[in-house]
Amino acid sequence: MNFQNFAYEPSEHEAEKASNSYLMSLIAIIAGLPLPIINLLATLIFYIGNRKSTYFVRWHCTQALLSQISLLFVNSTGFWWTVSILFTDETVSGNYIAYIITAFVINVVEFIVTISAAIKTRKGIHVEWWLLGDLTNIICRR
Amino acid sequence: MQKILFQVFVIVSLCFALWFALSKVDWVSLFKLDQVADTTEKAMGTIFWDLYSKSALEITSEAAIRPLDSIVTKICISNGIDKRQITLHLIKSDEINAFALPNRHLVINTGLIATSDHEAELCGVIGHEIAHMELNHVMKKLIKEVGLSALISMTTGGGAEQIKEIARMLSSSAYDRNLEKEADIKAVEYLKNANINPAFFADFLYRLGESEPTNSQYFSWISTHPDSKERAAYIIASIGQQNTNFSPVLSTDAWDQLKGFATN
């Protein structure tokens, strides 16, 4: 995670909206744990609602959205694997438990990083995550 | 762009490395999942057999059980299966049926024996039911139909009505198509290893499939196992290289005696 100077000093209103984009994905994590698509949808709706907003807000909405897209793959795999255990002949195996623990660790890391990003952006500090920050810089144009 | 690709590679590699490292831990033993499943199956077996035996007339005569036991033992020994874990029950009933209950209770109706023209036909059905046990189909079916949590609650005394319903389902309905096919193919393998001609098993299915409409109330095993002719066809196909070194499990006298018990 990098704390960098943004292209301009964001206003109080912008900082609040940017912070909300991360909080949106956190609320969605709690509400949508069994259904991973909910996280993505909530963040996507927030992103679409703010796509004509200022650069700072759009940038952080995009970073939050990208983090949810990457989590979607991890959580969907775990979700459908669990469904197949409950409703098909698939059984609980060491690989399955290892995957669920891995997915849990990834989710916890993402959760902590997201909370941190929400607090920092609320203070108007620009936070760029490793990999996702670079990707956001490519996607989100001023 | 190269930097991003490198970062994606690092992240994905880290995730897979974590998964790989965690998968090396024997979580199934650590969480005692096998033990839980084993205890649940044993409790289920006792519950379902107690319930079923109340409404069934079990034949305990040594003379009737011994030939059946010889067949089960022959199939088990030839295939490295622990026979001591299987509890055999012979039930006086005209219904042509055999089924497996949890914890390896093998239930055979006299109607099935009476309808079998050859001991190898009976061996085929017994092999099929043993395959269901060995491939863990009984518990798979229960977990799929009822759910693991409901099963565990039953072992602690809950859901009397549900237990009755499941006992009826276990004795009168088939497994899904894939599990039935898997058990059929496995049964062929068991029969071949025991030097029993699997073609009789296919003939039995075909014959009962042909005559089913006229006697459907007695044809549980066939009517709940769909497409008997199709099953006969893939059983024949799976026999492959035919071993001609077949030998009977029972003497002619023992088979006749067993048939006698079944028809009287």
**Structure tokens given for A97:** 């438990």
Instruction: Give the span between the Cα atoms of B96 and B93, in whole angstroms.
Output: 8
CB-facing half-sphere around the CA of A118: CA atoms within 13 A: 15
* CA nearest to A24, candidates A126, A114, A142, A135: A114
Interface of B with A (CB under 8 A): 3-4, 7-8, 11, 15, 18-20, 22-23, 25-28, 31, 33, 140, 144, 147, 178-179
pLDDT of residue B150: 63
- A23 and A117 Cβ atoms separated by less than 8 Å: no
Label residue A75 by pLDDT band (50, 70, 90): confident
Burial of B238 (0-12, 13-18, 19+ CB in 10 A): middle
Q: Are strands A2-4 and A126-128 parallel, antiparallel or unpaired?
A: antiparallel
pLDDT of residue B201: 92
Q: B141-162 as b/e, with b when 16 or more CB fall inside 10 Å?
A: bbbbebebeebbebeeeeeeee
pLDDT of residue A52: 82
Bridge partners of B105, per DSSP, are B87, B101
Determine whether the interchain pair A98/B25 forms a contact, defined as Cβ–Cβ distance below 8 Å: yes
Amino acid letter for position A91? T
Label residue A5 by pLDDT band (50, 70, 90): low
Give A52→chain B minimum CA distance, Å.
27
Label residue A32 by pLDDT band (50, 70, 90): low
Cβ–Cβ contacts within 10 Å for residue A88, how many?
Answer: 12
Amino acid letter for position B246? F
What crossing angle do the helices spanning B33-54 and B137-146 adopt, rounded to 10°? 90
Cβ–Cβ contacts within 10 Å for residue B63, how many?
Answer: 12
pLDDT of residue B156: 62
Among partner residues A74, A101, A135, which is closest to B22 by beta-carbon distance?
Answer: A101
Determine whether the interchain pair B7/A130 forms a contact, defined as Cβ–Cβ distance below 8 Å: yes
Cβ–Cβ contacts within 10 Å for residue B34, how many?
Answer: 10
pLDDT digits (tens, 9 = 90+) for B176-235: 778 888 999 999 999 999 999 999 999 998 888 777 555 555 555 655 555 777 888 888
Spatial neighbors of A141 by CB under 8 A, at least 6 apart, are none
- B174 and B219 Cβ atoms separated by less than 8 Å: no
Return the SS3 of B98. Answer: strand
* CA nearest to A15, candidates A110, A126, A113: A126
- B70 and B249 Cβ atoms separated by less than 8 Å: yes
Q: Are strands A126-128 and B87-91 parallel, antiparallel or unpaired?
A: unpaired
Cβ–Cβ contacts within 10 Å for residue B179, how many?
Answer: 20
Among partner residues A92, A98, A138, which is closest to B22 by beta-carbon distance?
Answer: A98
**Full DSSP string of B177-194:** HHHHHHHHHHHHHHHHHT
Determine whether the interchain pair A94/B28 forms a contact, defined as Cβ–Cβ distance below 8 Å: yes
pLDDT averaged over every residue in chain B: 83
Residues of chain B with pLDDT under 50: none
Which residues of chain A make contact with B140, given a CB cutoff of 8 A? 89, 91
Q: What is the DSSP letter of A1?
A: -
Q: How many domains does chain A have?
A: 1
What crossing angle do the helices spanning B228-239 and B199-211 adopt, rounded to 10°? 170
**Structure tokens given for B187:** 């049964």
pLDDT of residue B239: 82
Give B231→chain A minimum CA distance, Å.
21
pLDDT averaged over every residue in chain A: 83
Q: Is the ipTM of this complex over 0.95?
A: no
Among partner residues A102, A135, A138, which is closest to B19 by beta-carbon distance?
Answer: A102
**Among positive and negative, which fits the CA dihedral B8, B14, B19, B24?**
positive
Instruction: Give the span between the Cα atoms of A102 and A96, in whole angstroms.
Output: 10
Which residues of chain B make contact with A106, given a CB cutoff of 8 A? 15
Determine whether the interchain pair A89/B179 forms a contact, defined as Cβ–Cβ distance below 8 Å: yes
Instruction: Give the span between the Cα atoms of A18 and B89, in whole angstroms.
Output: 71
Instruction: Give the span between the Cα atoms of B163 and B154, in whole angstroms.
Output: 7
* CA nearest to A36, candidates A82, A94, A88: A82
Question: Residue A45's domain spans which residues?
Answer: 2-139
Substitution target in A74, A96, A102, A139 with the highest count of B β-carbons within 10 Å is A102
